[in-house]
């Protein structure tokens, strides 16, 4: 490595899909119509009322720093949201507004993880979590997750993998890349087990709201000692605004505030005002309609992938991803994804981006495109598969 570059950088992984994205852009410059099923953000625009609130804030020139904890009315609206959707009371002082779930994770881990300590997480999972742990000098213990546990951890797995270096556990439900949920019982027992081991429980609830049959439960329903990470990016459709939130155990209020003051000062002010408009009745109804569209897309994509010979080991219950086992066709999904892009201009994300658990056998398909676009993509995929023996 070049002198001067921190040694920790060797542990920070890039997004491998970026290589494919660059290739996709190149193809688009050549006039090819690339269908994007690799993108992890809703294709819907920011809802009108939210956009309007952001515009109004800029128009009024209300764009000074806010408190590091966030805009008070937004924290209160989130507190009310917990009551309305989950029937739980969350003290407003425990709610911090952050630059996305990303900012929430940085505050949660930065305030709780010591160098040398280890965080347990399921493999496959969202890749940035490990990189955050590394940034704070920690290590990750990946636990291979399978369809047997819905690609989630449970109390038994946590107990089994806990050791003298363990500091905490990350659970994301619905999961990226599998879209699967942890059951309410498993979440409850996992929280209780982690706290009994004197660990920290970090619950990534960013895909709540995008859950199609069952209901997602929050770790806060079982304990006020869990860290809960959430965001306006996915269900609320505000990716580029960079606004999310973190709920912390009471003992962490002061440390997290101190850290937020230093590393962010505050979350973008106009984004916080825009986020406040998310909680109007009309907006929440619009978001629920969008969630219903995602549910239809999921059913469509799931059915077609199975017909094409892909195996989906655990049917997704939320988010906007299907993690398909492609072993019938390849044991190198990075190459498969690249070949598919070059031949048929369909972009997908190879399993390599989500961990080390038979990752070369999987592809993540995102249904962040309309059924019409997906239908065209799947026809192209079918064409691409003609080269493989039946």
SS3 annotation, the chain: CCCCCCHHHHHCCCCCHHHHHHHHHHHHHCCCCCEECCCCCCCCCCCHHHHHHHHHHHHCCCCCCCCCCCCHHHHHHHHHHHHHHHCCCCCHHHEEEECHHHHHHHHHHHCCCCCCCEEEEEECCCCHHHHHHHHCCCEEEEEECCHHHCCCCCHHHHHHHCCCCEEEEEEECCCCCCCCCCCHHHHHHHHHHHHHCCCEEEEECCCCCCECCCCCCCHHHCCCCCEEEEECCCCCCCHHHCCEEEECCHHHHHHHHHHHHHHCCCCCHHHHHHHHHHHCHHHHHHHHHHHHHHHHHHHHHHHHHHHCCCECCCCCCECCEEEEECCCCCCCHHHHHHHHHHHHCEECEEHHHHCCCCHHHEEEEECCCCHHHHHHHHHHHHHHHCCCCC
Give the nearest distance from C-beta 155 to ligand PLP in angstroms. Answer: 21
Per-residue contact string for residues 110-139; x = within reach of ligand PLP by CB under 6 A: ----------------x-------------
Binding-site member from 43, 118, 204, 257 for ligand PLP (CB under 6 A)? 204
Q: Which of residues 47-76 bind ligand PLP (CB under 6 A)?
A: none
- β-strand pairing of 362-366 with 244-247: unpaired
Query: Which range, of 99-107, 217-225, 302-310, 368-376, touches ligand PLP by CB under 6 A?
Result: 99-107
Query: Which range, of 9-17, 94-102, 295-303, 355-363, touches ligand PLP by CB under 6 A?
Result: 94-102
Give the nearest distance from C-beta 243 to ligand PLP in angstroms. Answer: 8
Size of the site for ligand PLP (CB under 6 A): 13
Binding-site member from 34, 95, 206, 210 for ligand PLP (CB under 6 A)? 206
368 touches ligand PLP (CB under 6 A): no
233 touches ligand PLP (CB under 6 A): yes
Binding-site member from 69, 176, 193, 357 for ligand PLP (CB under 6 A)? 176
152 touches ligand PLP (CB under 6 A): no
**Which is nearest to 20 in space by CA: 335, 326, 323, 321?**
335
Give the nearest distance from C-beta 327 to ligand PLP in angstroms. Answer: 25
Binding-site member from 102, 131, 223, 375 for ligand PLP (CB under 6 A)? 102
Q: What distances in angstroms separate CA 96 from CA 89, 108, 125, one per listed residue?
A: 15, 10, 24
- CB-nearer residue toward ligand PLP: 199 or 237: 237
Binding-site member from 154, 231, 269, 283 for ligand PLP (CB under 6 A)? 231
Q: How far apart are CA 302 and CA 68, in angstroms?
A: 43
Give the nearest distance from C-beta 321 to ligand PLP in angstroms. Answer: 9
Q: Which of residues 303-342 bind ligand PLP (CB under 6 A)?
A: none
Q: How far apart are CA 271 and CA 53, in angstroms?
A: 9
Give the nearest distance from C-beta 177 to ligand PLP in angstroms. Answer: 8
239 touches ligand PLP (CB under 6 A): yes
Binding-site member from 17, 34, 40, 96 for ligand PLP (CB under 6 A)? 40
- CB-nearer residue toward ligand PLP: 68 or 101: 101
Give the nearest distance from C-beta 137 to ligand PLP in angstroms. Answer: 21
- CB-nearer residue toward ligand PLP: 100 or 168: 100
Binding-site member from 47, 127, 138, 244 for ligand PLP (CB under 6 A)? 244
Applying CB under 6 A, the residues found at the interface with ligand PLP are 40, 100-102, 126, 172, 176, 204, 206, 231, 233, 239, 244
């Amino acid at each position: 490595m070049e002198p001067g570059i921190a040694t920790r950088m060797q542990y920070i992984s890039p997004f491998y899909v970026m290589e494919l994205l660059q290739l996709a852009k190149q193809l688009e410059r050549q006039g090819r119509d690339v269908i994007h099923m690799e993108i992890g953000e809703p294709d819907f625009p920011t809802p009108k009322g939210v956009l309007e609130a952001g515009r109004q804030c800029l128009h009024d020139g209300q764009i000074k720093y806010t408190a590091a904890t966030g805009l008070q009315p937004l924290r209160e609206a989130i507190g009310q949201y917990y009551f309305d959707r989950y029937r739980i009371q969350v003290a407003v002082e425990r709610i911090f507004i952050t630059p996305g779930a990303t900012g929430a994770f940085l505050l949660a881990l930065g305030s709780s993880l010591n160098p040398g300590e280890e965080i347990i997480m399921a493999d496959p999972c969202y890749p940035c979590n490990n990189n955050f742990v590394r940034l704070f000098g920690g290590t990750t213990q990946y636990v291979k997750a399978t369809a047997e546990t819905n690609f989630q951890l449970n109390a038994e797995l946590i107990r089994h993998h806990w050791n003298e270096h363990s500091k905490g556990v990350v659970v994301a439900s619905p999961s990226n890349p599998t879209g699967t949920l942890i059951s309410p019982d498993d979440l409850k027992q996992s929280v209780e087990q982690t706290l009994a081991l004197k660990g920290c429980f970090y619950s990534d609830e960013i895909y709540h709201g995008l859950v199609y049959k069952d209901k997602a439960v929050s770790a806060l329903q079982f304990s006020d000692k869990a860290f809960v990470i959430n965001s306006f990016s996915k269900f609320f459709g505000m990716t580029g605004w960079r606004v999310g939130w973190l709920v912390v155990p009471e003992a962490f209020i002061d440390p997290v505030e101190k850290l937020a003051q230093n590393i962010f000062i505050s979350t973008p002010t106009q984004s916080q005002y825009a986020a406040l408009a998310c909680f109007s009745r009309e907006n929440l109804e619009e978001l629920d309609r969008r969630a219903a569209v995602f549910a239809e897309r999921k059913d469509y994509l799931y059915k077609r992938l199975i017909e094409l010979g892909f195996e989906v080991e655990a049917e997704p219950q939320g988010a906007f991803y299907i993690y398909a086992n492609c072993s019938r066709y390849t044991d190198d999904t990075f190459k498969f994804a690249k070949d598919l892009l070059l031949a048929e201009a369909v972009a997908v994300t190879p399993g390599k981006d989500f961990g080390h658990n038979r990752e070369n056998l999987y592809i993540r398909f995102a249904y962040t495109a309309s059924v019409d676009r997906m239908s065209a993509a799947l026809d192209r995929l079918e064409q691409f598969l003609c080269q493989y023996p039946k």
